[in-house]
């Protein structure tokens, strides 16, 4: 099993690919593959994380073949990689467990079934160790955010379950206990944005674009509040909404959209495909992040967005 370490200079770099929507090797898929090659060759990351919808299973002749096509591409880099499931990966003609099992045949893949929590598969952690010793210096939480809600009178997208939140808190507590009672700097990755992505855009200064509604669940099940309570997660990274790429900070946690990577799905003219890059610094409780686009352009400073004024009535409540 590959062990993740900070580099000798104390950095650790992650490339987040999201929403490839790979199907059957169409020309759009081949453009996605070329974009991935260009980005990885430019950034030379230590880890690649796919935040869901690697494939669009309803349109795949064989979802397993489609997923293996992407796995073979990323294996060429000989860089550790990991995935979480999106709402379309196992939507038709395959199961979540099957997709995870086929990934595990590849030597650089770190995806594991993890703890099965109800219908959620692929809840697991990755540890980034110190460059000098086998000591946890950062933890990555990867969660299956589900697909469609199962309660008819609620509707909408699924929400992170109470079982998943309990699992996260138990992991966080154990990691803290093993670290002399101190939390270990952590990041979280999931596909569907939490409801707090709406809140941060509406109430705080954000950076980047929101060209579509935040498609979060209708129910706020409390994962973000658990992050705040445990005090370890400092960044949350999602996909799902292809033409949103903003980030903002809420109660000390940065909520960040990735940049949609795949061409075989909807987008918007003037909003090029790309990826988000995340760089950690060993010993720091923060991180730096930027976008890299299809033309090779790097965007470090995204466009600043100020929230609409909050009414006096609302402020007084």
Q: Is 276 in a helix, a strand, or coil? A: strand
Q: State both tokens at 111.
A: 């995806």
Distance CA 230, CA 252 (A): 12
pLDDT tens digits, residue range 18-33? 999 999 999 999 999 9
Interval 147-159 mean pLDDT = 91
Distance CA 254, CA 264 (A): 29
Residues across the chain: 317
pLDDT cut 90: percent of the chain above it: 92
Report pLDDT for 52. 97
Interval 152-168 mean pLDDT = 95
Interval 181-196 mean pLDDT = 98
pLDDT at 222 over 60: yes
Distance CA 305, CA 102 (A): 42
- Report the candidate in 79, 24, 8, 21 with the shortest Cα–Cα distance to residue 49: 79
From residue 62, how far is each of 19, 29, 68 by CA, in Å?
Answer: 18, 15, 10
Question: The domain 4-316 belongs to what CATH superfamily?
Answer: Metallo-dependent phosphatases (3.60.21.10)
Backbone phi, then psi, for 28, in 5-degree steps? -65, -40
Write down the mean pLDDT value for the chain: 95
- pLDDT range class, residue 311, cuts 50, 70, 90: very low
Interstrand relation of 274-281 and 287-293 (parallel, antiparallel or unpaired):
antiparallel
pLDDT tens digits, residue range 67-111? 999 999 999 999 999 999 999 999 999 999 999 999 999 999 999
Q: Where are the domains of the chain?
A: 4-316
pLDDT tens digits, residue range 233-280? 999 999 999 999 999 999 999 999 999 999 999 999 999 999 999 999
From residue 120, how far is each of 1, 76, 166, 167 by CA, in Å?
Answer: 23, 29, 13, 12
């Amino acid at each position: 099993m590959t062990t993740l370490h900070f580099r000798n200079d104390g950095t650790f770099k992650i490339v987040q690919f999201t929403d490839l929507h790979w199907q059957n090797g169409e020309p759009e898929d081949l453009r996605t593959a070329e974009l991935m090659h260009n980005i990885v060759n430019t950034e030379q990351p230590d880890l690649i994380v796919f935040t869901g919808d690697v494939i669009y299973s309803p349109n795949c002749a064989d979802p397993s073949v489609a997923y293996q096509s992407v796995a073979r591409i990323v294996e060429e880099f000989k860089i550790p990689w990991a995935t979480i499931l999106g709402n379309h990966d196992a939507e038709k003609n395959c199961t979540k467990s099957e997709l995870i099992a086929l990934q595990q045949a590849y030597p650089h893949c770190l995806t594991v079934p993890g703890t099965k929590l109800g219908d959620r598969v692929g809840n697991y952690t990755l540890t980034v160790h110190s460059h000098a010793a086998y000591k946890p210096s950062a933890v990555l939480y990867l969660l299956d955010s589900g697909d469609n809600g199962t309660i008819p009178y609620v509707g909408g997208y699924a929400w992170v379950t109470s079982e998943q939140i309990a699992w996260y808190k138990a992991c966080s507590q154990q990691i803290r206990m093993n670290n002399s009672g101190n939390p270990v700097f952590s990041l979280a990755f999931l596909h569907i944005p939490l409801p707090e992505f709406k809140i941060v855009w509406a109430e705080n200064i954000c950076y980047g674009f929101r060209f579509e509604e935040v498609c979060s669940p209708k129910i706020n099940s409390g994962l973000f509040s658990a992050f705040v309570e445990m005090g370890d997660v400092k960044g949350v990274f999602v996909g799902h909404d292809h033409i949103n790429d903003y980030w903002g900070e809420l109660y000390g946690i940065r909520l960040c959209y990735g940049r949609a990577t795949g061409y075989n799905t909807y987008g918007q003219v003037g909003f090029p495909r790309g990826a988000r890059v995340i760089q950690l610094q060993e010993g720091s409780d923060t991180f730096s992040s930027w976008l890299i686009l299809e033309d090779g352009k790097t965007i470090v400073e995204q466009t600043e967005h100020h929230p609409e004024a909050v009414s006096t009535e609302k402020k007084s409540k």
